[in-house]
Amino acid sequence: MAIKQLLSRARGSHKPSSSFFTVVRSSSSNAEEFINPPPPTAMIYDRIAHSLKSKLRKLENPDTRFLKYGSPHPTQTSHTHILSRPETRITTLPNGLRVATESTSNSQTASVGVWIDAGSRYESDETNGTAHFLEHMIFKGTEKRCAKRLGEEIENMGGHLKAHTSREQTAIHAKVMSKDVLKAVDILADILQNSKFEERCIIKERDLILRELQAEGHTEEDVFNHLHSTAFQFTPLGRNIHGQIDNIRTITKEHLQQYIQTHYTTPRMVLAASGAVKHNEIVEQAKKSFTRLSSDSTTATQLVAKEPASFTGSEVRIINDYVPLAKFAIAFEATSSTDPDSIALTVMQEMLGSWNKNAGGGKHMGSELAQRVSINGIAESMMAFSTNYKDTGLFGVYAVAKPDCLGDLSFAIMSAITKLAYRVSEDDVIRARNQLKSSLMLHTDGPSPIAEDIGRQLLTYGRRIPFVELFARIDAVDPSTVKRVANRFVYDRDMAISAIGPIQDLPDYNWFRRRTYWNRY
């Protein structure tokens, strides 16, 4: 009997005391309850579970001191108070030329230019390179002004005159003081209508362009040129903007004049101005100056319909072991400029983001792809892109990396892109929408970008889209929209790949194609 009593007392002494589980109420404003650590005799998984619950409670109720000036959770931002902009006035002249202006009363400078619905896409195989050749010849003198006088006249005004050519559009624009706007309009009209194209200037510019073509090799522009050539092979959109070497050697004055007569027509042109400008004065000056242009009613849309673009899933790889870094781009077929889903694709571009190792801060960025690339150090830089044309587009990622990182980087890129069709969080979409709206506002700050925005939108949409409407379209994109658009363009779709450099370790095309979907149920 005595032995039984001793055993019962011994067993009772090993029972855990209830004091180990006393609850202590925090003095913080949250008044959250924290449980004391478990006793030393508790099992290891009990300790781990307790630690995890404590961390989760801290995440759900962070210290209010760190939330005074910001929150880690994005919120919908209203831009209504900054969306009021001056009216964009548009006048169509009797010859079909559209004149569009946006006047800023407090500006002392102005930007004026001509945007033309013409580019390398509208060339033939025999004349490929003519549009870019014209860009070089456009400032080499007219019947009224020689090249020297043209340059001096612009410099005496303290202005700048530039031109650039893309696959679908050409622009010639000047930035001048407010008092010289009408002179700039007259100069632009003279350049477009009365260029001389002297043989000695053609020979000189031909040699310059040939040197540019021969120097091509390992730049971002080269990667995208090859990307277009493989994605839109055997169609006009796949032609190189700079043209082929054989074509450049045979382009003559007659080719340049014929291109201007055919494509530089008033229905396909917009005279856009922004800054310290007066709409009525520019309209009257345009009526006097733009009198010798063709009024052919054929539109760029009609030309595109005759030779539409066709996307081909394919790849082009140029191995060059003499450069230290590999550059490659992965792209899916995207929408046209006027497709409603083009807005969602731009939001998806912001969700994928961009990163450069020289900028820093990658592991704290909102983009999951940028975080993975930065933390693991598997790229020198990367950026998502969404390019739209009249009947098609490209959506994908461009990256630069060391040769031994190509496999890990490819896996990270494909995982991030394909994930858009499966899992999309509300926070990521809100953050991307806010970033996109801020970028649009920042990119139209000043007379020159505003004039360019007016010219491009009138050629693309036939009107200037107000920021209120554009932001409403952006805010309409939600996680379900992103998933739907990703399923339309990414899920189990062919892609185009362009790669240059030491790319032996870049996975093959079938590897990429296999990762456009997940076998998950």
How many C-beta atoms lie closer than 10 Å to residue 416's C-beta?
22
User: What is the phi/psi pair of residue 118, to 5°?
Assistant: -150, 140
Catalytic annotation present for 135: yes
Strand order in the sheet with 326-334: 314-319, 495-501, 326-334, 393-401, 381-388, 354-356
How many residues would you count in the chain? 521
Structure tokens at 253: 């004055």
Burial of 516 (0-12, 13-18, 19+ CB in 10 A): middle
Residues 6+ apart with CB under 8 A from 357: 374, 377, 379, 380, 381
Phi, psi for residue 149 in degrees, rounded to 5: -65, -35
Choice among 135, 333, 350, 452 that is catalytic: 135
Extended strands (E) in 335-377: 354-356
Helix (H) or strand (E) holding 395: strand 393-401
Euclidean distance between CA atoms 304 and 308, whole angstroms: 5
Burial class (CB in 10 A: 0-12, 13-18, 19+), 161: buried
Helix (H), strand (E), coil (C) string for 54-93: HHHHHHHCCCHHHHCCCCCCCCCCCCHHHCCCCCEEEEEC
Catalytic residue, chosen from 123, 205, 350, 452, is 205
Element (H, E) at 368: helix 368-376
Active-site residue list: 135, 205
